[in-house]
Amino acid sequence: MAERRLLVLFGSQTGTAQDTAERIGREAKRRHLRCRVEALDGCDVANLIHEPLVVFVCATTGQGDPPDNMKMFWRFLFRKNLPAGSLCQLDYAVLGLGDSSYPRFNFVAKKLHKRLLQLGGNPLLPVALGDDQHDLGPDAVVDPWLVALWDKILALYPLPPGLEIISPDVRLPPRYTLRYLPEDSPHPDSDLLQPPVPRAAPCELHPFAARVLSNQRVTAQSHFQDVRLIEFDVAGSGITFSAGDVVMIQPQNCPEDVQQFCQLLRLEPHRRFVLEPTEPGTALPPLLPQPCTIQYLVTHYLDISCVPRRSFFELLASFSTSELEREKLQEFSSAQGQEELFSYCSRPRRTTLEAMWDFPHTTCAVPADYLLDLIPRIRPRAFSIASSMLAHPERMQILVAVVQYKTRLSKPRRGLCSTWLASLNPEQGDVRVPLWVKKGGMKFPADPATPVIMIGPGTGVAPFRAAIQERVALGRRGNCLFFGCRYKSKDFYCQAEWEELVTKGLLTLFTAFSRDQEEKVYVQHRIRENGRLVWELLSSGNAHVYLAG
């Protein structure tokens, strides 16, 4: 009998496609299939020719782009020299997650489906196009599509005699077991919080712990928005970057949230444990040291401040000892309860920790072994680099707007990463931030004679500050910046720096302060007023135009 194995590959930017892929993995286990779930860039594409059955789950980002963790796969798959029949042994299905308010809706899934067909793959079903805009979200498409998918798969790979589909009421085993170490076991000398100095260029698996040199508020104290210019020391890291590049920062939870979480789940923060995979062949989470403390796991790994997904409530319901709480959790994890879940969670941006507070009887019954199945890991955040190495060698600066807003919940919502960064005070000792650099989407012209028109309202000016510093250091003129904010006196970032460059004739600057007069003035008004100059730069100077929000 053919081996009953399934490979689920995902391309995910915000975690939704990964969450869906993991759901398919759980449903495969209930049908006794051997199943691996991996990011597309984490699998060896050349091995696809040996896979009998693959489900692809992919999101579409930006203007029809593949997510970051499938870019290498994408390049490989569209190589011209791949033979037409190379995937003729492959049965596959593609599930797309997109948003129909964008013109290139689910572009990646459609294109992938078509390419797999060209390479001889055999589709089990038409491509599924999940839509964020639907009242029930992507699940409106995903749920019925999965029912049809399992029918197809079980027809090809029937259940072995004597085995039944494991009922949804039966909880699957956790991915890992937390084996607590005896309190008196020897501690390794290395401090958990000091990652080793990486040998290669820093990356997601080996970030560089950069020292914070300064953390300066660049908006007036009276201004509603707190914006920071933060400088890091990257000396000795091997990090290099140019204008338009992006720094990825791995944030952490605040101590109060960590303490609350541990109290709720009755966890001892200083207990040490090692993780052991339940199934052989399951890789350990790469960013967790072994052994590890509960404190480290909750501070640096578990995303307790994210808005929980349907899968969270599904697993949580299985631990519930309270009938009342269990009924509500089951409603939130059912297809019919998705509108209710949206107004409980997504609309008010309720966090995982807050949801756990609302189900106290259930929460205190969650076994520690299931924490990594229940709560996703903290994702890195991307910031445009706001400085040039030519102007500030061995330094890196970013411009961070601290995210804070109100919903109907009494406590203001706060951005995890920006709030944490704003709280760091380099005057209180050696403060470090794990980071690495990624190539950005903006490329500035190589020809020194080409002028650039940059339109950067608010913190959108960050990559242009890097570009202007770089271009000025290289002696390039033709730098034209349109900057917009609310008030000249409150949120005109880097005002002195721009004005000095204007005085030296190295920058042409147009500003729009929207609230400094009766009628609102924005960058587009300044562009229109200076239409003749803009047109001259475009038509005779071949200027490049850049826009960042």
User: What CATH number does domain 255-374 carry, 1.10.357.10, 1.10.8.60, 3.40.50.261, 1.20.990.10?
Assistant: 1.20.990.10
Q: In this structure, are residues 284 and 276 in contact, taking their beta carbons and an 8 Å threshold? A: no
pTM of the model: 0.92
> How high is the pLDDT of residue 271?
96
- Scanning the structure block, which residue is given the tokens 């398919």? 24
Mention every residue, 6+ apart, whose C-beta is less than 8 A from residue 313.
Answer: 329, 330, 332, 333, 341, 355
Q: Is there a contact between 521 and 485 (Cβ–Cβ < 8 Å)? A: no
Q: Which CATH superfamily is domain 208-250+380-438 in?
A: Translation factors (2.40.30.10)
Query: Is 454 in contact with 480 (CB distance < 8 Å)?
Result: yes
Classify 350 in phi/psi space as left (phi over 0), alpha (psi -120 to 50) or beta. beta
What are the C-alpha distances in Å from 359 to residues 335, 353, 364, 374, 411?
A: 20, 10, 9, 14, 18
Contact call for residues 214 and 426 (beta carbons, < 8 A): yes
Please give, one letter per residue, the 3-state secondary structure of 240-265.
CCCCCCEEEECCCCCHHHHHHHHHHC
d(CA 9, CA 22) in angstroms, rounded, equals: 10
Q: Is the dihedral of CA 101, 247, 443, 466 positive or negative?
A: positive
CATH superfamily of 5-156: Flavodoxin domain (3.40.50.360)
386 with 218: CB under 8 angstroms?
no
Beta strand pairing call for 5-11 and 404-405: unpaired
CA distance 461 to 467: 10
In order along its 549 residues, the chain shows pLDDT tens digits of 578 999 999 999 889 999 999 999 999 999 999 999 999 998 888 888 999 999 999 999 888 999 989 999 999 999 999 998 999 999 999 999 999 999 999 999 999 999 999 999 999 999 999 999 987 789 899 999 999 999 999 999 999 999 999 998 899 999 999 999 998 777 764 444 454 454 679 999 899 999 999 999 999 999 999 999 999 999 999 999 999 999 999 999 999 999 999 999 999 999 999 999 998 878 899 899 999 999 999 999 999 999 999 999 999 999 999 999 999 999 999 988 988 999 999 999 999 999 999 999 999 999 999 999 999 999 999 999 999 999 999 999 999 999 999 999 999 999 999 999 999 999 999 999 999 999 998 999 999 999 999 999 999 999 999 999 999 999 999 999 999 999 999 999 999 999 999 999 999 999 999 999 999 999 999 999 999 999 999 999 999 999 998
Between CA 82 and CA 90 the distance in angstroms is 15
Asked whether this chain's domains 5-156 and 255-374 adopt the same fold, the reply is no
Q: What is the pLDDT of residues 464-483, one digit of tens each?
A: 999 999 999 999 999 999 99
Domain definitions of the chain by residue range? 5-156, 208-250+380-438, 255-374, 452-547
pLDDT at 16: 93
Residue pLDDT, tens place only, 336-383: 898 899 999 999 999 999 999 999 999 999 999 999 999 999 999 999
The pair of three-digit structure tokens given for residue 219, joined into one six-digit string:
């908006």
pLDDT at 1: 58
pLDDT at 191: 47
Sequence-distant (6+) residues with CB within 8 A of 326 are 317, 320, 362
Q: What is the reported pLDDT for 283?
A: 87
Q: Which fold has domain 452-547?
A: Rossmann fold (3.40.50)
pLDDT of residue 281: 79
Whole-angstrom CA distances from 192 to 291, 393, 447 are 9, 30, 47
CA-based R_g, the chain, Å: 26
pLDDT at position 188, please? 60
